[in-house]
Structure 1
């Protein structure tokens, strides 16, 4: 999906809403929603969107999360989900809006295999004191 110019948090929240809706419509009832934005995870796990500037997306996500299904929301580093990273980079060059693919890009299939095997790139995290 290409949303145009927006914040990372908004992109993650819209992705969560669209992904949850697609999962629900496809009949999935046990879903793990992985986001590489810790801020978006925290917002989704809170129960009050209040007057947050992302309230529209948060309210829609909360409606979806309250349905009769099992959804876990977890933070994952970008390196931990190469499929999502690949699709996000494709979204930057796609026309505005949501795009569905009937045939998977071969590179996506490679990253899917990479993810299924539990492989990931290492990430250096510095602890500043």
Structure 2
């Protein structure tokens, strides 16, 4: 089991999701995985990935790169999950702020990540708070 975090600095949520997905797929390909289930709770990114939406828009380059890697000799199934079933990804996204710019891959998961993976698999629900920054 491994994990990765991406720190892209300031960018849109869509750009972060697409770039993070691309980086994860690159890692999976390099490691040798050939059957992937890609979970995301962000439907905009899922639509771009599933429909190979590489029209001319501000995420077109990332979308084309995703299309290229998805066309490799492997099976990638895209799955929409509710945010409440994606705590491990949320944990990693928040942890990315502790790292320098770029992608960082780990061959071992820390205890906190393993805890969140177990919560996701078992379907344990936790309420989320939204803090008003205004």
Please say whether Structure 1 and Structure 2 have the same fold, judged by a TM-score greater than 0.5. Answer: yes
1:15 CA drift (Å): 1.0
2:3 is aligned to: none
Q: Which residue of 2 aligns with 1:127?
A: none
Would the aligned equivalents of 2:87 and 2:116 in 1 still touch at CA under 8 Å?
Answer: yes
Return 5+ residue gaps in structure 1 as ranges.
124-129
Q: Which structure would you say has the larger RCO, counting Cα contacts within 8 Å and 6 or more residues apart?
A: 2
1:83-94 matches, within 5 Å, as: 83-94=88-99
Runs of 4+ in 1 over 3 A off after TM superposition: none
Which ranges of structure 2 fall in alignment gaps of 5 or more residues?
1-5, 128-134
2:110 paired residue number: 105
Normalised by the size of structure 1, how large is the TM-score?
0.85
**What is the TM-score of this pair, normalised by structure 2?**
0.82
Displacement after TM superposition at 1:122 (Å): 6.7
Take 2:73 and 2:106, find their aligned partners in 1: how far apart are those partners?
28
Higher strand share: 2
Provide the rounded CA distance (Å) in 2 between the counterparts of 1:69 and 1:102: 22
Q: Cα RMSD between the aligned structures?
A: 1.7
